Structure 1
Amino acid sequence: MSTRWNYKVVEVKPKWLSVTPKMIEDVLVPLGSMGWELVSVTHIATTTYLYLKKEN
């Protein structure tokens, strides 16, 4: 049987034209405790997008 995944994309919007590590941690910590795993990050203009997966 193959593994099935759920996927989530989270947009972290900047404050004062930047995204800080603390802002990203504040998003990731609760998601990690729910089983979500960060797999990729992109930064477009001033917004950071976090791509996560969780086993279904």
Structure 2
Amino acid sequence: MEEEKKPFNDVIDHLNKIEGNPTNGDFKKLPKPLKYIGYVMIVLLLIPILLTIVFKLSN
């Protein structure tokens, strides 16, 4: 069985419930389409950063 993580205090627990933060944080159980969308977003963010670094170094 998975051990449930206990909140730091009642205020943090209340804040997490209001914001909708997951309490277990197990992102391995996400559906495949959500995983792939996340991977695509990360790649789309990294490409401009890498291109900027390459162009800055080439000048």
Same topology, TM > 0.5: no
Report the TM-score, using the length of structure 1 for normalisation: 0.29
Report the TM-score, using the length of structure 2 for normalisation: 0.28
Q: Whose RCO is larger (CA < 8 A, sep 6+)?
A: 1
Q: Which has the larger radius of gyration?
A: 2
Write 1 or 2 for the structure with the bigger share of helix. 2
Write 1 or 2 for the structure with the bigger share of strand. 1
